[in-house]
Amino acid sequence: MRFTIQGRSHHLDAEEVRAVLSGRRPEPVRSHWVAVGGRQWPVKQALELCTGIYRAEFTSDTARRVFQRLGFEVSEHRVRHTSEQVTTPPSGFSVPPVPEGDDGVETYAAWRRIAEHLLVANSAQPIRELQDRLRGATGEVLAELVPPGVGEAVLGWTTLVHRRAERLQTLNHGTAVVQLLHRLLAQDERILDPPNLTGRTRRGVDLHTTHRHAVFVLGRHTPTNTVRQRAAAAGLVHLVMAAPASRTKQLWASDPALLTFLQTTDLTMRWGLSRSAEALRDRFDDTYGSLDQPIRSFLAGTDVELCDVNDVLPLGAWVI
């Protein structure tokens, strides 16, 4: 069967699906699933494994339709209303008033116009339609193809938004960590050393309490994001070395794909610590053996708990 994702054609058949998933282990099902070989698989994980397309590039509904057309049993479709998605962000910060001054007012307006565009059912559809219409177009008729809302005004909005975009990540990260701590800590648990809420890289363990040491790796995992992968590997080492050793040691990730990476990768600790301080690599070599051991092997020999943030706080759709 042939199908299209992001404008690219792909081929898949039922036997190929069974062959690819045979012997593999499904991640926990959180929403939609497909039944293959007597097991329920998250539809996005299954389609990613079968096609090599990274799961962020398609929706659960797209994956459901593909597997349904191939004859597999899938979970029922559930309609998600836009109003529900927009009105349930993580709490903790109030909406500021419209700032005074021309630049502030223009920025506020730009955010609103961009938001209006992004909240429509398929914000990319007008651009894709325009792309299709460009085929064979001449300079003489090009101006007629540009639809309302695509032009200099959009460039102005997006330029203003990009100037403020870094603030989004700080606000997003800080809110996520505070909300997580609110749900995570026991009533008698006291924070000894608070985490860095800005999201900037911090050496050592992110959080020290009377009960635990914790490292937070927030954000979507992609196979090409080696910065986040190395940060997770270094976090494992810092957790193992943290004193006192009697406290619970946890690595929290908002994307379960990163936890799967740590448990299955053949990349070595030498690679994982290649951007860390030389003193940390030397200490690892002296204490835990060769840096050439796979990350998964080192992890298997530790008492570090890998924890999915979404089990406590559903951040998957929010954390940048």
Q: What are phi and psi of 265, to 5 degrees?
A: -70, 145
Q: Are residues 138 and 183 in the same domain?
A: no
- Tell me if 91 is assigned to some domain: no
Residue 5 pairs with which residues in a beta bridge? 8
pLDDT in tens, the chain (320 residues): 888 886 678 899 999 999 999 988 898 887 789 999 889 999 999 998 999 888 877 888 889 999 999 999 998 865 443 333 333 444 444 445 545 554 555 556 656 666 666 666 565 666 677 677 677 777 666 656 555 444 555 566 566 666 666 677 777 778 888 888 888 888 899 999 888 777 665 567 888 999 999 999 888 888 888 988 999 999 999 999 998 889 999 999 888 899 999 999 999 999 999 999 999 999 999 999 899 999 999 999 999 999 988 888 765 545 55
Domain count, the chain: 3
Q: Are residues 46 and 22 in the same domain?
A: yes
Q: Are residues 307 and 177 in the same domain?
A: yes
Rounded Cα gap, residues 96 and 164, in angstroms: 15
Q: Are residues 180 and 285 in the same domain?
A: yes
- Residue 247's pLDDT is 93
Domain termination residue (choose one: 165, 186, 208): 165
- Residue 95's pLDDT is 45
145: Cβ–Cβ under 8 A, 6 or more apart, which residues?
130, 133, 134, 137
Other CB atoms within 10 A of residue 51 CB: 22
Q: Are residues 147 and 249 in the same domain?
A: no
Beta strands (DSSP E) in the chain are: 2-5, 8-11, 33-36, 39-42, 73-74, 191-193, 207-209, 212-217, 248-253, 305-308
Domain termination residue (choose one: 128, 146, 165): 165
- Residue 140's pLDDT is 67
- Residue 82's pLDDT is 36
- Tell me if 95 is assigned to some domain: no
Q: Are residues 36 and 150 in the same domain?
A: no
Q: Are residues 177 and 152 in the same domain?
A: no
- Tell me if 55 is assigned to some domain: yes
- Tell me if 33 is assigned to some domain: yes
Range of the domain at 6: 2-74
Domain termination residue (choose one: 74, 92, 123): 74
70: Cβ–Cβ under 8 A, 6 or more apart, which residues?
1, 12, 13, 14, 17
- Residue 135's pLDDT is 74
- Tell me if 79 is assigned to some domain: no
Q: Are residues 143 and 201 in the same domain?
A: no
Q: Are residues 48 and 146 in the same domain?
A: no
- Residue 85's pLDDT is 39
Q: Are residues 38 and 151 in the same domain?
A: no
- Residue 92's pLDDT is 44
- Tell me if 92 is assigned to some domain: no
Q: Are residues 160 and 177 in the same domain?
A: no
- Tell me if 246 is assigned to some domain: yes
Q: Are residues 13 and 141 in the same domain?
A: no
204: Cβ–Cβ under 8 A, 6 or more apart, which residues?
238, 242
- Tell me if 9 is assigned to some domain: yes
